[in-house]
Structure 1
Amino acid sequence: MFPRSGREKRDKETTKSRSKNVLGNMSSPAPYEGKLCCAICGDAILPPTPELSSAERWQTEAVLLSDPDREFEHLEEHYRGGKKRDAKRLDISTAREIRKDRARVIEKDRLRIIAANQDGDADMEQEEVDSNRSYGREENGEWVVTPYYIATHEACLEVAETVMRRSPHDIAVRDLRTLWKVLRMRFKVDDMYLMSSSIEFVASPQRIQLPHSYYMPFRFAPMLSGSFPSGEIDRKVERWEAAYPLHVSDLTSAVLENLSSLPPATAAIPQAVSFQKRFLALPPELRDHVCSFLASRNGMPGTCNGLLPQWIWREVLLRGECLPFLRDLDVAVVRDFCARWGREHGSQEPNWELLVRKLSQEAWSIWDAESSSLKVPSGLRNRRRIWQLIEEMYVGDLVPVKRMMRVSSDHVVVPRYWDERGEVMHPVVRVQVGSRDKLRSVMA
C-alpha cells in the first residue's frame, strides 16, 4: 500500500493552510500561468531588465538543478513507467552530486547558463537550455537525451540548504539529492495531469499548484476588482512573499522592536520557584540541552508561564536552536538594545519569553500578514515561508492530491520510485489518484 503515515502526520499539522486550497489557488495578484517560477518558493523567476527595481533583482538570480547520474530516467526506463511487474531491483550509482548551474532567464522557460572564469568571476556565458522539460535531440546522426533542468531562485536554494543543515525537526529533505527527487516527482505528476487534461495544453513553463499554494498571502478583493490589468502587479501592494530572504537589512533591530515590558509580578508559586532554582543549578551545557527541547514544529503556546528567567529566553533567541531561521541576529545590536532598555526602563525587564513564543509560532499569520501582531521585515517573513515549505517537503508529496483542474480521465496513475525520504522502492508502487480521502495503490 501507499505509505501514508508521514503524509497523515503532515496533513494534521497543516490543516489550516490546506483548508484554504481553493483560495490559495487565487492567492496572488500576479498571473503565474505560463511563467517560469521557482520550484521552491513558487514565485516568478524574472528576466533581468532595466525596469526592475533594486528589491526585485534578486529574483533574476537563478540556479538550474540537474542530476548527472540521471537516476529518475534510469528508474523510469527500467520499470517502464511502473508497469513492468517482473522487473528486478535496479541499483543505481549516484556518487555524483546534484549539479547547480547559475543561469539567467532569456525568455519564458529558456535560460542561459553562466559559468565562472579562471578568476572565479561569473561572467562567462554558456549554452542555452530549457527548464522543466524532458526531451532529446539529434546530433551527428545520434539521438542525444538532454539533462532535465529544474529552475530555482539562487537565494531560495540557499535557504533550502540551510534548512537541511539546521532544522531541529524530523524532516524528509536533508540533502540536495532528496530535494531533487521531491521536485522531479512534482514535475512528473504535473506532466501526467496535463496529459490527462481535456482542456488545451498549457504552454510551458507550468507553475505547479501545490495543496498549500506555496503559502502565498490571500488577496481576494484586488483580483475580483480587476486592479491588475494585463497581469500587472499593483505597486502599492507590498508583496512580502517576493522580498529577498537572505541578508535582511536592520533585521535584529526590527525583531527587537516587538519586545514589550514584562507585566507586574504576581505572587510566586512555590513549585515554580523550586523549579527555577533546580534549573539554574544545572551546568550551562545541561541548561542549553534542556532549552533545545523548546523547539516545536507547531510553535510554542502563546501563553507565558514565567518558569525560566528572562535572560534564559534571551539566550534561547540568540542561540537559534529553537528559531533556526533567525541565526543571523547581531549580538552587538542586542547588547546595545539591552543597555538602552536599562537606561530608559530601569528595573522593568523586557518580556523575552513572549517574543520567543510569538516568533516560534508556525504560520506567523501568513495568510493575512498585515494583521499579524509581529512586525518583522518582509525578507524575514519570506524566509520563514520558504523555511516552512522545505520542512514540509517529502518525496511524492504531490501524488496523493487531486488537482484543482478539469481532467477528462477518471484517474491519474503515478509510479513512485522512491519513498518519502528518497529511498528506492521495490517493487514500484503505482498510485491511482482519485481524491484526497480515497486513494488506491497498485503494486507494479
Structure 2
Amino acid sequence: MCVAHASGAPPSASTKAKSRPCPESPTPSSLRPMTRPAPPRSGSWTARPPCAAVLRSSATTQCKNLGPCTSGCAQGAKSSTDITYWPVALRAGVELRTRCRVREITVNADGMADGVWYYDEDGEEHHQRAEVVVLACNGVGTPRILLNSTSPEFPDSLANSSGLVGKNLMFHPVGFVQGLFEDRLDSHMGPQGCCMLSNEFYETDPERDFVRGYMMQIVRGGVWPWSTAMLGARSGTIPWGPGHHEAFARRFDHTANIGILCEDLPEEHNTVTLDPELVDSDGIPAPKITYTLSENSRAMLEHGVARAKEAMLAAGAIEVTGGGPARQAGWHLLGTARMGDDPETSVVNSWGRSHDVKNLFIVDGSIFVTSGGVNPTSTIQALALYIADTMKKNLANLFD
C-alpha cells in the first residue's frame, strides 16, 4: 500500500510524486556506512523522513534530529496524535476520557449500535449512548470487544455474520542484525526506526522458497545507555562486573541495526478469542491469542537475515550478530476484522463500516486484509483520514 501522498512522506521508487514531498533530514552519521555499495544494492536503500508532523500548525516545528524519539518530542515535530490531532479536537469541544475500559457495545431492537458499557478509572460502570460507534482498539482489542458484545439481536458476537471476527491475526515476524563499527555513529540521536529502507526483496520471486517478501530497515543501535547494557548482557557482549565499562564503551554509539520486517500472510487458525477463565481487573474476559509462525515466514526471515548480514559486512562492520524471529516482536496487531465487499468473507466494507451494524465503524489495523511488508502506522493513519472523509460525504445516507 502506498500512502505517501496522504501522509506527506515521499513516494517509493515505483510511484510518482503528485505533490511537493516533505523535507528530509540530513543523513546522520549512523546511516552513512549503509550508503556505501553493499548488498542489497546501494541504490535500493532509500532515506526516509522522520515521523515529522505535516499539519500546518504553530505547535509543530521541523525535526532537529535530536532524539531519542520514543519518549516524546520536545520540539513538537513528531507526528503523534498528542501533537497533531488531539489539540485540534480538544479545542473543537471533544471530551477525552482517559483511563477508561470498554466492556461491550450495546445495540437496540433494530440491531443498531446505541452506545457502550465502560469502566472509568475508579472501576465505576457507565453506559455512554452514541449515534455512531467507532472502534479503534487494534487487532487484539477490537475483536475482544466485538466478541464480548452479545445481545438477543447478536447472540454470538457483534458484527460477526462472516465468522471472521478474531481470525487471520497477523503480527509481522521480525529479525534483527546488528553491526559493530570502529567509528562513533551518533546512533542514540534522532528517530529510531525505519531511518533508511530497502524494498529490494519486497515482491514475490519464483526463484525463492517463499511467497511475498520483506522490507529491510536501518534501526539505530543503542538508543539509551541502559538498553545498550541490557541487550549486551542478554547477548553476552557486555558482561556485568569486571570488564563491563570497557565493553559498554566499545559498543555504545558504535552500533547500527538492520530490521527485517516480513509480510505476515492471513491464516484463519491465527486467532483472537475470549479466554474462558482469565479476566482483567474489571472482570472483562481477557483476549486469548493463538498464533503459529508459518514456514513461509520462517523461510522469509532466514533469507532476510542472511542478506542483512551481508549488507553489514559490506558496510564495514567489524562484528555482526543477530537473527530471527525476535521473540519480543508482535507490536503490529492486524487482520482480525478484515475489510472487503462481500459480507460473507469480510467484517467491514471498503470504508470501514460493519456489514452487519450500519452505524458501527472500525478504524485500526484489524481491517487489514494482509499485513504488507512495511510498518503499518502510516497506512492506518491514511485509512483513518479516508474513512472519516467518506463518512462525512455519506452523512445523508450514512446508515443506508
The two structures have a TM-score, normalised by structure 1, of 0.26
The structure whose Rg is larger is 1
TM-score where L is the length of structure 2: 0.28
Structure with the higher helix share, 1 or 2: 1
